[in-house]
Amino acid sequence: MTPSEALQHFVALKLHFSSADYDAIKYHFKTRHLNLDNRKDKYFFIKLARQPDPKGLCIANISYSPTMWVGELFEPPAMERYWSWRRYQEGLTYYFSQELKKFNKDDFKCPIENVGTWHHPQALKRYLRQDVSLDTLTILNDFIQFDKIWDSYLNGDPVWQHVKLVINKYRPFISYDREKIINVMSKHFFS
């Protein structure tokens, strides 16, 4: 990856995760023409291009914080986030099964306090506390499709709207063995 490609990829991912309209996959990570030479942060894109996995580093961090500045990618929290993300990708079925143990069937229901007052479901709270990963929540949504249910209860809730956008935008970047995941889920929820 060249520094110019790193810039293009970084900007495309930022747009992808922060905008409902832009789809980096559909547009092949293309945005308007960006000139690396005129940028004050040029050094960071050179550094990003030299990384062993610049795309993974960007996905792991920009999916977490779409407003991230490129220089933050090289700070310890971002590097730790990347290594955690990479570990999850390499052992997806195992880590999914471990995080699934934190859930029960009722965690996806929206609790009601007063008539017409809804609260965030436990599953959403676990994600916001970073007890479970975006990968786990995204995979669970593939099967349970809780986003449609939560939309009806949490319509207009800014926290849920942001998380929903991130889940939907992250989905193309995750792949898994469907049969293995079904097996793990059936053991957890039906045994």
The verdict on 97 and 75 lying in the same domain is no
User: Residue 58 belongs to a domain with what CATH number?
Assistant: 1.10.8
Question: 101 with 172, same domain?
Answer: yes
DSSP per residue, 36-66: GGG-TTHHHHHHHHTSS-HHHHHHHHHTT-T
Do residues 49 and 13 share a domain?
yes
Query: What is the average per-residue pLDDT within 23-51?
Result: 92
Q: What is the 3-state secondary structure (H, E, C) of 110-176?
A: CCECCCCCECCCHHHHHHHCCCCCHHHHHHHHHHHCHHHHHHHHCCCCHHHHHHHHHHHHHHHHCCC
Q: 114 with 179, same domain?
A: yes
- 51 in the same domain as 25: yes
Structure tokens, 87: 């570990």
- 130-166 per-position pLDDT tens digit: 999 999 999 999 999 999 989 888 888 899 999 999 9
Range with lowest mean pLDDT among 28-32, 63-67, 113-117? 113-117
Residues whose CB is less than 8 angstroms from the CB of residue 177 and which lie 6 or more positions away in sequence, other chains included: 93
Kindly report the CATH number assigned to the domain that includes residue 171: 1.10.220.50
- Asked if 47 and 25 sit in the same domain, the reply is yes
* Per-residue confidence (pLDDT) for residue 153, from 0 to 100: 84
- Residue that terminates a domain, selected from 46, 61, 87: 87
Round to whole Å and give the CA distance between 103 and 21: 32
Do 78 and 99 belong to one domain? no
Distance between alpha carbon 96 and the CA centroid of its chain, in Å? Answer: 14
Task: Identify the domain boundary among 58, 87, 116.
Answer: 87
Which residues constitute the domain of residue 22? 3-87
- Domain identity same for 75 and 32: yes
- Three-state DSSP at 26 gives coil
- For residues 79 and 117, state if they share a domain: no
My answer on whether 112 and 160 are in the same domain is yes
Q: Do 80 and 149 share a domain, yes or no?
A: no
- The answer on 176 and 124 residing in a single domain is yes
Total of domains in the chain: 2
| Strongest mean pLDDT among 33-37, 114-118, 128-132 | 128-132
Among residues 30, 62, 87, which one ends one of the domains?
Answer: 87
